[in-house]
Amino acid sequence: MAAPTTILETRREQVFPTLASSEIERLRHFGRHEVFAAGGVLTRVGEAGPGMIVVLTGEVEVTRRDGAGEAHPVTIHRAGSFLGELAQMSGRPALVDSRAVTPVEALVLTPEGLRAVLVTEADLSEKIMRALILRRVALIEIGAGAPIIVGPALDPGVLRLEGFLERNGHPRIVLDADNDPEAKVLLEKFNIAPGEWPIVLCAGGQLLRNPTDVQLARCIGLVGAIDPDKIHDVAIVGAGPAGLATAVYAASEGLSAICLDCRAFGGQAGASARIENYLGFPTGISGLALMGRAYNQAQKFGVEMAIPDQVTALESGSGGLVRLRLASGESVRARSVVIASGARYRRPDVAGLETFEASSIHYWASPLEARLCKDQEIALVGAGNSAGQAVVFLAGHVAKLWMLVRGAALEATMSSYLIERIAALPNVELLTGAEITGLEGEGLLRAVRWRRDDGPEASHPMRNLFLFIGADPNTDWLGGSGVALDAKGFVLTGGDAGGGRNGLQTSHPGVFAIGDARAGSTKRVAAAVGEGAQVVAAIHQYLAVHHGPTPRIQPAGDPGERKAPA
């Protein structure tokens, strides 16, 4: 008999816990009583559901759809169990279908009601939140509610969309147009020409042809329309460690917050294969897991997430407000803004680099990249901690890894524990004084050329190259905003911003800057999180002076367990 391999098999009791009658009684004033007739639909894939549904009597069948639209059973909910996963915290579309097998009485908690439970009922919150997270993991494993991406396995567009969904923790199904029979059926059905790769069939039935990340996100409900009339206490630009920390602390203290990012939550930290020097995780944790927890925590406190939504400009508004212009044509109004837009990956000056960026050049090392490189020979350029973490992770998947470093040694730029670990890896060859000189191939990388210490140029066949050579501030969108930058494009704060400002304030009233985008910041996850917490106190002070008192919730225990506003 095969050993259990999925979350649904190994942790079923935590995925589908049963609530005691006393626990259900505590939930009643957070929801409303509803009755569903036998055969009635409770949730439908691709449509926003009503929230978390607690079954009081009767049975509810939950099913998922495969690539052909056929239904497959997931579970049966009976009295005491509840329907829902992470999407229900924010009212996003459901990933599964559910219908009443018999007449059902239920308690329905809207997203607002669910978040209220998660904040105010500590022990119940732990049980429910764990189940919601594990269910999302399980749905990713089985591809429930997943958009179907069809195209050649190594097509740049396919890789781009697959990476986008992975970084946002969303299920997906990828069908290889060259080898998968189901893919060929879909291509014939929709009369798709090769130049239209990739196509995406969304869970709601919509067909997209070579969509952008934003088009796909809107199709599957990752991001919706922004209310033009709503005024937020704080708008946070960037959902990396600094931005997510700000979101969690601001919302847990009663401020209305919106967090925007142009691609995915987590920033560069979210792309790290393993973070081993973050306080409280002695065995390490993947960047995506750490940032995923922060993202869910922010939603728990009611932060509005607009991801992906790209901010293109910052402007002064009337009444002391700040307006953010978005690439979608929408705008966000807020009493204060936190710039946490981080940095963008630095690119070496190598001819033709952009030709391979969508398919063979990588700026992070996730399980997706590891699968692409399995048992291959690869090269990685970089000498910092992020490069070291990527080397350690990738070495376990590839045949050989060439590590190219411009300097004479790693000691000046990398933590000693990583240096020691790399030295012990038998399939890693460290080349100091090395520099990339050229790339070969058409569409897909075929070989990488490099030179050491002005020696002869060498060419090595390989299909994937990883670049970890630092980053530049992501602040181009601040042009003309009045926010002062230094010569390198980092945001000036405090005394450097002039006008007697202090702390994390910028030269623009009501605008603060934290994390990698801020001049003089420490480029560490822990430092970014600390600044995210610190800036909330400064926001409270600013709002109290310029916009009147704001709700301030006193901590009950640690900062992750703040009481809800009265």
Residue 550: the pLDDT is: 58
- The CATH number of domain 7-142 is 2.60.120.10: yes
Low-confidence ranges of the chain (pLDDT < 70): 1-4, 67-68, 194, 549-566
Strands 60-65 and 52-57: unpaired
Distances in Å between the Cα of 168 and the Cα atoms of 193, 220, 239, 536 are 29, 12, 11, 26
Would you say the CATH fold of 231-344+473-483+493-561 matches that of 7-142?
A: no
Fold of 231-344+473-483+493-561: FAD/NAD(P)-binding domain (3.50.50)
Nearest-angstrom CA–CA distance, 356 and 509: 42
Q: Both tokens of residue 137?
A: 């993991």
Q: Both tokens of residue 157?
A: 């567009």
Distances in Å between the Cα of 78 and the Cα atoms of 37, 62, 81, 202 are 15, 11, 6, 30
Amino acid type, 240: G
Nearest-angstrom CA–CA distance, 55 and 18: 10
* Cis amide linkage into residue 198, ω under 30° from 0: yes
Task: Kindly provide the residue ranges of all beta strands, DSSP E only, lying in 347-443, ordered along the sequence.
Answer: 361-362, 377-381, 400-405, 428-432, 434-442
Nearest-angstrom CA–CA distance, 410 and 407: 7
Residue 523: the pLDDT is: 83
SS (H, E, C) 245-309: HHHHHHHHCCCCEEEECCCCCCHHHHCCCCECCCCCCCCCECHHHHHHHHHHHHHHCCCEEECCC
N-term to C-term CA, the chain: 54
Strands 104-109 and 71-77: unpaired
39, burial (CB in 10 Å: exposed 0-12, middle 13-18, buried 19+): exposed
Residue 86: the pLDDT is: 94
Residue 84: the pLDDT is: 96
Q: Both tokens of residue 396?
A: 């376990």
Residue 4: the pLDDT is: 59
- Report angle CA 56, 57, 61 to the nearest 5 degrees: 100
Provide the 3-class DSSP secondary structure of residue 186: helix
Fold of 353-469: FAD/NAD(P)-binding domain (3.50.50)
Residue 256: the pLDDT is: 97
Cα–chain center distance at 152: 25
Which residues have a Cβ under 8 Å from the Cβ of 181 and sit 6 or more positions away?
Answer: none
Distances in Å between the Cα of 216 and the Cα atoms of 154, 197, 198, 455 are 19, 14, 12, 47
Distances in Å between the Cα of 395 and the Cα atoms of 390, 400, 428, 445 are 8, 7, 7, 20
- The architecture that CATH gives domain 148-220 is 3-Layer(aba) Sandwich (3.40)
Show me where the domains of the chain are located: 7-142, 148-220, 231-344+473-483+493-561, 353-469
